[in-house]
Amino acid sequence: MLTKGEALFAAQGVRASGRKKLPPREDGACPLLGPQGRCMIYTHRPFGCRTHFCAAAGGPYPRKHLADLIQRLDTLDETLDGEGPRPIQSAVADALEEMA
Ligand code: SF4
């Protein structure tokens, strides 16, 4: 799940990888997971992929900072007329269309 700002940033990563659309994915895995098991947009990956929302997963920020960052993403989502957190497939596909 990701907010609109994250989706637009991920869409930039898709474009930077030379793609204009998300690759089809039938197995339910993330559409941005490449055939070699690596993220196709690693430097543009969403917030949740960066932090896993918990310190135990090795997120780089203390919990208080994560809460602050989540609030900032929510505020940005409102500014961008987003719909709140959405599934990655549809959020990034819509962001790619918006950027076209
Ligand atoms: S890091 Fe996130 S965006 Fe990248 S493949 Fe994994 S789940 Fe998908």
pLDDT tens, 48-94? 888 875 555 555 667 778 888 889 999 999 999 999 999 999 999 99
3-class SS of residue 52: coil
9-40 residue pLDDT tens: 999 999 999 999 998 888 889 999 998 999 99
Copy the structure tokens of residue 49: 């992929």
CA distance 19 to 13: 9
Query: What predicted TM-score, i.e. pTM, was given to this entire model?
Result: 0.87
Between the CA of 100 and the centroid of ligand 1 the distance, in Å, is: 22
Of all protein residues, whose CA lies closest to atom 4 belonging to ligand 1?
Answer: 39
Distance in Å, CA 79 to ligand 1 centroid? 25
